[in-house]
Amino acid sequence: MSARKGKMKNMLFTLVKSFGLMPRSIRMFLLWRLDGIRYLREVLKIGWIGERCRVYSRFFGSEPYLINIGNHVHIGSNVQLITHDGGVWVLRDLLNNQSLDCFGKIIIHDNVFIGNNAIVLPGVAIGENVVVAAGSVVSKNVPPNTVVGGIPARVIKSIDEYSKKTTQCLTTKCLTGGARERAIKEHFKLCP
């Protein structure tokens, strides 16, 4: 991003953040869309978030300060990081304790990809070099160097196995527009 665009984005973020007349829900959405990482740090006050992260979700539990996110982490659309176990609602009557609450930290280590619509429950740590499949429910700690998926999420394969079995990978990040499309069509032997 150019320096001028960055400065303009920063000014707009600060303006929207301080604009009290706008409904809070709209203000929060605009701040997230302008700069999701800054929104997590300054508005939600997330526990910690590293560098080179991509975050496409706004669901960070009722206690975002219990969430730590490492470097080079991708969090897909509609991922939910839940820090509060609402199920204790049932126990309040059983234990005669209406003040009972249950919380858990979520720790996501470096180099992690969490697919769309995944749910991470309280008290979970996700190790380094992990892929969490879309739609998974992560209820237990995930060991490093693994691919997990399912409900509940379980280890499917190692990251090394995933790397070796990925046959449809192409180097396209350096290509633009038509060149990227041509390379993909050529790889899959599609008509021009």
Task: Determine which of 22-26, 76-80, 82-86, 124-128 has the lowest per-residue pLDDT on average.
Answer: 22-26
Q: Give yes or no: residues 140 and 68 share one domain.
A: yes
| Tens digit of each residue's pLDDT (9 = 90 or more) over 42-86 | 877 888 999 999 999 888 888 999 999 999 999 999 999 999 999
Task: Show the domain range for 128.
Answer: 43-164
Half-sphere exposure of 102 (CA within 13 A, CB side): 12
Does 149 fall in a domain? Answer: yes
Angle, CA of 52, 58 and 59, to the nearest 5°: 115
Contacts 24+ apart (CB under 8 A), 136-142: none
| Tens digit of each residue's pLDDT (9 = 90 or more) over 146-176 | 999 999 999 999 999 999 877 668 888 888 8
**Position 23 pLDDT exceeds 90:** no
Mean pLDDT across 116-130? 98
User: How confident is the model at residue 157, as a pLDDT?
Assistant: 96
Q: Give yes or no: residues 72 and 109 share one domain.
A: yes
Q: Give yes or no: residues 138 and 55 share one domain.
A: yes
Tell me 13's DSSP state.
Answer: H
Does 62 fall in a domain? Answer: yes
Q: Give yes or no: residues 80 and 153 share one domain.
A: yes
Task: Kindly report the pTM of this predicted structure.
Answer: 0.82
Q: Give yes or no: residues 80 and 13 share one domain.
A: no
Q: Give yes or no: residues 1 and 82 share one domain.
A: no
Number of folded domains that form the chain: 2
Does 110 fall in a domain? Answer: yes
User: How confident is the model at residue 20, as a pLDDT?
Assistant: 67
Does 184 fall in a domain? Answer: no
**Position 28 pLDDT exceeds 90:** no
Q: Give yes or no: residues 30 and 58 share one domain.
A: no
pLDDT band at 1 (very low <50, low <70, confident <90, very high): low
Query: Is the link from the previous residue into 122 a cis peptide, with omega within 30 of 0?
Result: no
**Position 90 pLDDT exceeds 80:** yes
Q: Give yes or no: residues 93 and 10 share one domain.
A: no
